[in-house]
């Protein structure tokens, strides 16, 4: 049984090409069943087909053809991996190590969804389960996914550093820029509510009144001057803590606000510096994550390789059991005089002799299977014990 | 036996202090090892106190050094309530070096050995020393939370780019928990002082420096809570809590020899 991967990702293809081979859940399920034992993983950053077959060449050809049917130009941007390399790639994908932003959290759910929509047999079942396990392990044992990776999520994380739980936290949104909108959305998903959407022309008196009711101000207008001055904030603050997020260039909020007691003002440069630092942190955590993924891939490799020797081990054990039963039948005359307890003792003793004799060869064959010697060992066992010769 | 238990407790507290330092630099294994150090160290110190209690026919922590030993145990025990949570691990940076240092001082004063029984009655000692120490342990924790507040606030004011790489509890949480801890600690201190005054009057003893300092400490923590009710919070409240803690340490270390004599 061979594992074959054919796919393309943000490393190999621009978005214009990726979007033409992107598949929704329904199409993924259809394509998987067309390919036999297969799983189709399609996200905004990648489309990958994992196929299991006895003939790797044929499986690869069919997978390439399936993707080329969606978009003929994708063929030069396709990568093709097999067995151990394909499994390692999937483990890295599930751990977020192959993502545009290292450690991003969505990919694990997407891998699970792809696995559920696919048509996995026992090999794909094993590799996907182990990939999901590796992904969870990386997230629980490293800090790769803990810090925000965008300006908008950094703004929300800063608000949590000041106010803790954002449930019930009130936001004033000044201006309707794209980044400001994203920041407000990010705050809202964590429980905050927008109580006022204003713009640079909103009356200053109204702004001051509303300022007394809010906890976070997100500003992103195209105003040439300051929309809020430190004096206004000082009058409206009433001893409360306030967080100001200024995403505009030129800046909307008077920098002197940051000097006020209990007021924290972050502009776009501050947020970008934080994001850049957290991304650096994610990259350094990625080294630890790679080690975890490599260990999991090694475990899978050992299991996969043992499949080569499993038939030989099974034949050897069946052969030994046949001999044991035949010898017991031969000795039926003698054994017939034994009572039930004595007879069970003889059967147990002969089983134990067989098991003990075969234990070490079984272990050694499984160990050899991890290296390239597995097949040679299996052949040697078949030859030495004459396994399968009766069938010839 | 007490000697046998003292060293592992000290070593584990020391390991926790170093571990929390390592965790602040690179979060992960060091932090987990430190938390286990606190847990195991506290259990070993509990056993130490148990041995002391079993060997003495009465309350064995009536001396200043003995009470310091009990104080460390209470502080670490109170810290364990929060310290096991990831976000509060940083609190260990303040609490554990202090606990290890105070345990050494307690040992130097003979507070971790057997045979340190006071001439006061057991009931009085349990009420007076016990209540005051419970309160002081609470104030120590409130001060540690306030110190963490000031550190976190400084990071936000400096706009440190690393602020989200090592998130701490939010300012609002630290402020609220510090106040709550102080509020829970004030009644035991008030009761402990009342019991002490009653004994003072009965025995006709003189008011010494530690009594005065304890009153001042009580007054500072009352002021802290009253000011909070009038709207004080954040940085200013944290400074008042730290001032209260300085008095706690002064009461614990500077004057006690004369008071316990």
A339 pLDDT band, cuts 50/70/90, is: confident
Residue B122 has pLDDT above 70, yes or no: no
Which residues of chain A are within 8 Å of residue B233 when distances are taken between CB atoms?
Answer: 239
* Average confidence (pLDDT) over A291-304: 88
Q: Is A305 on the interface with B (CB under 8 A)?
A: no
Percent of chain B with pLDDT over 70: 88
pLDDT the model gives residue A392: 45
A313 pLDDT band, cuts 50/70/90, is: confident
Distances (CA, A) of A194 to A152, A167, A188, A222, A265: 15, 12, 7, 20, 19
* Average confidence (pLDDT) over A109-125: 91
Helices then strands, counting H and E runs in chain B, come out as 9, 0
Spell out the domain ranges in chain B. 1-117, 119-261
Which residues of chain A are within 8 Å of residue B235 when distances are taken between CB atoms?
Answer: 261-262
pLDDT the model gives residue A342: 84
pLDDT the model gives residue A208: 86
Beta-carbon separation of A161 and B167 below 8 A:
yes
Question: Strand (E) positions, chain A?
Answer: 2-9, 37-42, 46-53, 79-82, 170-174, 193-198, 216-219, 242-246, 263-267
How many angstroms separate the CA atoms of A147 and A164, rounded? 15
Which residues of chain B are within 8 Å of residue A164 when distances are taken between CB atoms?
Answer: 169-173
Beta-carbon separation of A276 and B161 below 8 A:
yes
How many angstroms separate the CA atoms of A139 and A288, rounded? 11
Q: Is A147 on the interface with B (CB under 8 A)?
A: yes
Distances (CA, A) of A53 to A35, A138, A298, B27: 10, 30, 21, 44
* Average confidence (pLDDT) over A373-387: 80
Nearest CA in chain A to B32: A141
Distances (CA, A) of A267 to A42, A135, A180, A256: 36, 34, 12, 12
Is the four-CA dihedral B98, B104, B107, B112 of positive or negative sign? Answer: positive
* Average confidence (pLDDT) over A243-271: 91
What is the least distance, in Å, from the CA of A268 to any CA of chain B? 12
Coil, helix or strand at residue A382: helix
Beta-carbon separation of B163 and A147 below 8 A:
no
Listed residue (B74, B68, B83) closest to B19, CA to CA:
B83
pLDDT the model gives residue B239: 95
Q: Would the pTM count as exceeding 0.80?
A: no
How many angstroms separate the CA atoms of A90 and A84, rounded? 10
Beta-carbon separation of A241 and B171 below 8 A:
yes
A194 pLDDT band, cuts 50/70/90, is: confident
Coil, helix or strand at residue A98: coil
Neighbours of B261 (CB within 10 A): 8
Beta-carbon separation of B172 and A270 below 8 A:
no
Is the four-CA dihedral A316, A319, A321, A324 of positive or negative sign? Answer: negative
User: How far, in whole angstroms, is CA A340 from its chain's centroid?
Assistant: 57
Among B161, B173, B234, whose Cβ lies nearest the Cβ of A274?
A: B161
Residue B28 has pLDDT above 80, yes or no: no
pLDDT the model gives residue B120: 61
Residue A85 has pLDDT above 90, yes or no: yes
Question: Strand (E) positions, B44-201?
Answer: none
Percent of chain A with pLDDT over 70: 98
Q: Is A72 on the interface with B (CB under 8 A)?
A: no
Among B157, B161, B167, whose Cβ lies nearest the Cβ of A264?
A: B157
How many angstroms separate the CA atoms of A77 and A9, rounded? 8
pLDDT tens-digit map of B132-183: 888 998 999 899 899 999 999 999 999 988 888 776 889 999 999 999 999 9
Listed residue (B55, B50, B93) closest to B70, CA to CA:
B50
Q: Examine residue A163 and say whether the peptide bond preceding it is cis (omega within 30 degrees of 0).
A: no
**Could you give all domains of chain A from N- to C-terminal order, each with its CATH number?**
2-141 (3.30.460.30), 151-275 (3.40.50.720), 302-385 (no CATH)
Beta-carbon separation of B164 and A258 below 8 A:
no
Q: Which of B28, B155, B159, B231 to mutate to test the interface with A (most CBs of A within 10 A)?
A: B159
Beta-carbon separation of A164 and B169 below 8 A:
yes
pLDDT tens-digit map of A165-177: 888 899 999 987 7
Residue B33 has pLDDT above 50, yes or no: yes
* Tokens 């407000």 found at: A184
Beta-carbon separation of B234 and A241 below 8 A:
yes
Among B27, B165, B171, whose Cβ lies nearest the Cβ of A277?
A: B165
pLDDT tens-digit map of B228-245: 988 888 899 999 999 999
Q: Is A261 on the interface with B (CB under 8 A)?
A: yes
Antiparallel, parallel or unpaired: β A170-174 and A46-53: unpaired
What is the least distance, in Å, from the CA of A170 to any CA of chain B? 15
Q: What is the overall mean pLDDT for chain B?
A: 84
- Would you list which residues of chain B are within 8 Å, Cβ to Cβ, of chain A? 27-28, 152, 156-157, 159, 161-165, 167-173, 231, 233-235
Residue B24 has pLDDT above 80, yes or no: no
**Residues B210 and B255: beta-carbon distance below 8 Å:** yes
How many angstroms separate the CA atoms of B104 and B94, rounded? 16
Please spell the DSSP secondary structure of A274-317, one letter per residue: HHHHHHHHHHHHHHHHHHHHHHHHHHHHHHHHHHHHHHHHHHHH
Which residues of chain A are within 8 Å of residue B167 when distances are taken between CB atoms?
Answer: 146-147, 157, 160-161
* Average confidence (pLDDT) over B49-67: 76
Q: Is A158 on the interface with B (CB under 8 A)?
A: yes
* Average confidence (pLDDT) over A24-44: 90
**Residues B88 and B30: beta-carbon distance below 8 Å:** no
pLDDT the model gives residue B253: 72
Interface size between A and B, measured as CB pairs under 8 A: 66
Judged by average pLDDT, the poorest of A274-283, A368-377, B167-176 is A368-377
Among all residues of A, which ones are annotated catalytic?
Answer: 44
Beta-carbon separation of B172 and A241 below 8 A:
yes
pLDDT tens-digit map of B182-227: 999 999 999 999 988 888 888 777 777 888 889 999 999 999 999 9
Q: Is A140 on the interface with B (CB under 8 A)?
A: no
* Average confidence (pLDDT) over A270-289: 87
What is the least distance, in Å, from the CA of B113 to any CA of chain A? 42
- Window 215-244 of A, Cβ < 8 Å to B: 239, 241
Q: Which of B32, B156, B227 to mutate to test the interface with A (most CBs of A within 10 A)?
A: B156
């Amino acid at each position: 049984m061979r594992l074959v991967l054919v796919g393309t990702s943000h490393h190999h293809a621009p978005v214009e090409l990726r979007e033409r081979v992107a598949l929704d859940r329904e199409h993924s399920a259809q394509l998987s069943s067309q390919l036999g034992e297969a799983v189709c993983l399609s996200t905004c950053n990648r489309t990958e087909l994992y196929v299991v077959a006895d003939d790797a060449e044929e499986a690869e050809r069919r997978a390439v053809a399936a993707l080329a049917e969606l978009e003929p130009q994708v063929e030069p941007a396709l990568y093709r991996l097999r067995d151990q390399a394909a499994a390692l790639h999937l483990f890295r994908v599930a751990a977020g190590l192959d993502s545009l932003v290292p450690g991003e959290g969505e990919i694990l759910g997407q891998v699970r969804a792809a696995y559920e929509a696919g048509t996995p047999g026992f090999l794909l079942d094993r590799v996907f389960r182990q990939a999901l396990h590796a992904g969870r392990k990386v997230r629980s044992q490293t800090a790769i996914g803990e810090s925000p990776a965008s300006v908008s999520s950094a703004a929300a994380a800063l608000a949590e550093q000041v106010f803790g739980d954002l449930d019930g936290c009130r936001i004033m949104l000044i201006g309707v820029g794209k980044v400001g909108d994203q920041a407000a959305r990010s705050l809202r998903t964590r429980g905050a509510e927008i109580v006022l959407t204003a713009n640079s022309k909103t009356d200053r008196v109204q702004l001051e009144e509303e300022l007394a009711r809010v906890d976070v101000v997100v500003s992103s207008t195209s105003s040439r001057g300051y929309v809020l001055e430190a004096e206004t904030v000082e009058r409206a603050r009433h001893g409360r803590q306030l967080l100001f997020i200024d995403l505009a260039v030129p800046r909307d909020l008077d920098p002197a606000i940051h000097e006020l007691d209990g007021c924290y003002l972050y502009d776009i440069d501050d947020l970008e510096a934080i994001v850049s630092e957290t991304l650096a942190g994610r990259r350094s955590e990625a080294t630890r994550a790679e080690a975890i993924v490599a260990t999991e891939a090694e475990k899978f490799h050992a299991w996969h390789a043992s499949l080569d020797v499993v038939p030989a081990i099974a034949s050897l054990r069946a052969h030994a059991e046949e001999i044991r039963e035949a010898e017991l039948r031969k000795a039926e005359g003698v054994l017939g005089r034994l009572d039930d307890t004595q007879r069970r003792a003889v059967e147990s003793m002969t089983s134990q002799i067989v098991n003990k004799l075969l234990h070490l060869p079984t272990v050694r064959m499984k160990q050899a299977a991890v290296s390239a010697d597995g097949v040679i060992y299996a052949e040697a066992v078949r030859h030495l014990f004459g396994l399968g010769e009766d069938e010839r | 036996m007490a000697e046998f238990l003292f060293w592992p407790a000290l070593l584990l507290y020391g390991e926790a202090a170093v571990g929390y330092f390592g965790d602040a630099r690179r979060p992960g294994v060091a932090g987990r090892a430190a938390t286990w150090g606190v847990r195991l160290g506290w259990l070993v110190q509990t056993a130490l106190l148990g041995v002391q209690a079993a060997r003495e026919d009465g309350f064995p922590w009536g001396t200043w050094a003995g009470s310091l030993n009990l104080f460390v145990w209470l502080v670490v025990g109170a810290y364990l309530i929060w310290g096991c949570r990831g976000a509060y691990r940083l609190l260990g940076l303040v609490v554990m070096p202090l606990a290890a240092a105070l345990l050494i001082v307690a040992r130097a004063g003979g507070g971790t050995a057997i045979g340190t029984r006071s001439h006061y009655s057991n009931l009085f000692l349990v009420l007076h020393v016990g209540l005051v120490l419970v309160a002081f342990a609470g104030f120590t924790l409130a001060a540690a939370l306030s110190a963490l507040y000031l550190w976190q606030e400084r990071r936000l004011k400096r706009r440190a780019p690393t602020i989200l790489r090592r998130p701490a509890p939010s300012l609002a949480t630290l402020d609220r928990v510090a106040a709550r801890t102080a509020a829970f600690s004030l009644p035991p201190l008030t009761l402990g002082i009342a019991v002490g005054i009653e004994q003072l009057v009965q025995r006709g003893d003189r008011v010494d420096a530690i009594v005065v300092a304890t009153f001042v400490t009580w007054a500072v923590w009352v002021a802290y809570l009253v000011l909070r009710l009038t709207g004080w919070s954040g940085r200013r409240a944290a400074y008042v809590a730290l001032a209260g803690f300085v008095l706690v340490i002064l009461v614990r270390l500077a004057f006690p020899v004369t008071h316990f004599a």
